[in-house]
Amino acid sequence: MTLVRDGQATCSIVLAQDAGDQEKLAADELQTYLSKMSGAKVSIGSDSSVVAGNRILIFNREMFQTTRTVALICVIFNALLPVIAADSPIILDSRKQLFLDDYLVASMTHVKRTVEQAKKFPGNPVLYQMESWESPMAIIYGSVIRDRGKLKMWYISRNKSGNGVSYATSRDGIRWHKPRLNLTLVDGERSNILFTKQTIWTGSEGLPYFQELFGVHRDDRDPDPARRYKMGALDIDWKYDGPDGLPWHKGQRRGLGIAGSPDGIHWKIIDNWASVAISDGATHWMFDPARDKYVLYGRTAKELLELKAAWSTNAGFKEWYAGRAVARLESSDFVKWDFTRPLTAPVVMTADLEDPPITEIYSLKVFPYEGIYVALVQVLHANPDDPTLDVQLAVSRDSTHFARVGDRSAFIPFGPIGSWDRFNLSLANNDPIVMGDELRFYYSGRLFRHAPYSGPDRGVDKSSIGFATIKRDRFVALEASFDGGEIETKPLQLKGATLHLNAKSDFGEIIVEMFDGHGELLARSKAIQRDSLDIPVKWDEKPEPFDGPVTLRIKLNNARLFALWCGK
């Protein structure tokens, strides 16, 4: 069955006349996946309205639950991928094609995929204890956003009664101003603390169950100006005896609390328990324009049987392994979520057998980028003798199914001896901040170890905030040394007059060859010997006009390739 031909849909998704919400959700998901893979938009209709072409039937039975229906559609879609891929070339247009996965790649010879480690700002940390009212703990369980010509930061500050939320602003993201507000006085002195917990076991006056900040974003879609800014937080009821408890947090109710603010400074609770499908800190979200929804990635737990079998003999496994994992939720307004009950949200990432023993996925920060979803994976290496947290990369093409990148080396590593970010890294909730040709990733570094550890190298209770950067599109490189390497792409339909590369070959070279569907050479490029974010490919001879699919053969010699696209 052919689903897509020449970038055009040749099928329809068909719903029954009495389709419920779960069937409609499944149809929407399938439509999104097909569009991302083929570039074609497959229509959704009822059995009576769809009269021609191949049909994908979405059905349900009373015994099916929503998650099973969506899972069924994902299975169907995965089975159909070879059909789509075999029939249609990949559209190569102005959208950059990165190389975090093999979506564009048919084969590689003597080429290695390497994570481009983010470069830490030499002036780090950029926010830390300086004022008399501040504690040593400044943790970017929070956000940095660009808002009306300024950068604004919300972060956790810790005091004797527990966590509070502090606020700072900056013009350049390096020098931060901490305004003295009248909201929280410390020993009679005004501070930049917006609110703080009243006791270890109770939240703030306005957010009674507040435990930890997740983040803040500006929401211009909400018609209510009192909710122009929205906050997500971990709420905990420490004296709970009800149906929403979890076996590993007995006597507690944990979940996502939502607050709103007209100015990002004065906050009121919207819902203490918007969802209890997540259960702990380090929860992140994004707004996904492709879905027109917020997508949240929050903490849950899932112990895979194969991990237990492989790791159970390791020292510390029984005592310390908690099965930390990440679940996924969606919302149109950031208040009402699709999964609200404990352990109902689908799990999208856990540690696996390619990880060292007693590894756990601590958090997942996902953001849309050039038609894919890049994920920053906060990884807990829970070795009892040397526990650390660093940040790795993953990639997804549907925001649900993720692949870890390369050899899983750190994208942002914890620091060496003598550094401010020695043991434990936490990620800002926001998407990367674009600064010219750079992407900036804010994170906090701590000088104390995460559990499990009881040795003399524990560190001290101090945390600061800094950032690391990469050049635009340079998450991952396909690279080869002087012995040469070769990349061959899958069939491509070029939608642009000029082929462009983001590459570094100033001390080597790159040659691009273009072939038609029969393997006949259409054009060969001049040698490329540059380091640039945008290199237009120049051909030895201008190729004859050709409308069919082509294959590119890219030859690397002491060179690195980051991205590929077509444009003017």
Contact 181, 175 (CB under 8 A): no
pLDDT band at 11 (very low <50, low <70, confident <90, very high): confident
More confident residue, 39 or 11: 11
Least confident range of 36-40, 184-188, 405-409: 36-40
- What's the pLDDT at 36? 57
Whole-number percent of the chain with pLDDT over 90:
78
Please report the DSSP string for 99-131 in residue order: -SSSSSEEEEES-EEEE-PPEEPTT--SB---S
Tens of pLDDT, residues 246-280: 988 999 999 999 999 999 999 999 999 999 999 99
- Mean pLDDT confidence for 221-232: 97
Tens of pLDDT, residues 97-134: 999 999 999 999 999 999 999 999 999 999 999 999 99
Domain ranges of the chain: 4-87, 90-114+476-567, 119-471
- H or E segment and range at residue 372: strand 372-381
The CATH code of the domain at 90-114+476-567 is: 2.60.120.260
Taking the alpha carbons at both ends of the chain, their separation in whole angstroms is 36
More confident residue, 73 or 10: 10
Dist. CA 477–CA 92, nearest whole Å: 19
Dist. CA 416–CA 419, nearest whole Å: 6
- Mean pLDDT confidence for 311-325: 90
Is the pLDDT score of 552 beyond 50?
yes
More confident residue, 58 or 104: 104
- Mean pLDDT confidence for 36-49: 61
Is the pLDDT score of 212 beyond 90?
yes
pLDDT band at 233 (very low <50, low <70, confident <90, very high): very high
- What's the pLDDT at 343? 94
Tens of pLDDT, residues 320-335: 899 999 999 999 999 9
For the domain made up of 119-471, give the CATH fold: Tachylectin-2; Chain A (2.115.10)
- H or E segment and range at residue 231: strand 229-237
Please report the DSSP string for 431-464 in residue order: PPEEETTEEEEEEEEEEEPPSS--STT-EEEEEE
- What's the pLDDT at 89? 94
- Mean pLDDT confidence for 31-43: 67
- What's the pLDDT at 70? 44
Average pLDDT score over the chain: 90
Cα–chain center distance at 186? 37
More confident residue, 82 or 513: 513
Least confident range of 148-152, 297-301, 311-315, 435-439: 311-315
Expressed in percent and rounded to 5, the helix, strand and coil fractions of the chain are 10, 45, 45
This prediction's pTM: 0.86
- What's the pLDDT at 64? 37
